[in-house]
Structure 1
Amino acid sequence: MSTKLLTVLLVGVVAVSLVGAVSFVGGVVRFLVLLMGLGAFVLAARGARGDEEGGLVFGTGEDESAAT
């Protein structure tokens, strides 16, 4: 990893930690960060790819049991 990426990561972690210390707003911010992290993990794990319209495709959308 480059030094610039590590610096940006450190600044982000510190910023989220500081905002997370605020009572109500901090909880909401931490929850949103959690959702973004989980979404990024799912996209990376599933190997998200773009379709022709530019949307994300996670499957064919067809019921495989109907094909038999």
Structure 2
Amino acid sequence: MPAYRSGMKQLVSSFAGLRSDERGATAIEYALIAGFISIAIVTAATQIGVNLVKLFSGILPGLEGS
């Protein structure tokens, strides 16, 4: 058997092993979930900040008048 055939067999068998290995797919799924959660946290924190600014902007005139 020529040497290149042996190398091709090894390459094909290692690709077959990668296809059955799901650790990479699981890591990507967890990374996507973490990304979506962090986007939700940033969005919620931004909205809370905007609401707090509005609240304190409404209170400030009352405090200045006293």
Give the TM bin, normalised by the shorter chain. 0.3 to 0.5
Which structure: greater strand fraction?
Answer: 1
* Relative contact order higher in (CA < 8 Å, ≥ 6 apart): 1
User: Which protein is bigger by CA-based radius of gyration?
Assistant: 2
Which structure: greater helix fraction?
Answer: 2
Instruction: With the length of structure 2 as denominator, give the TM-score of the two structures.
Output: 0.38
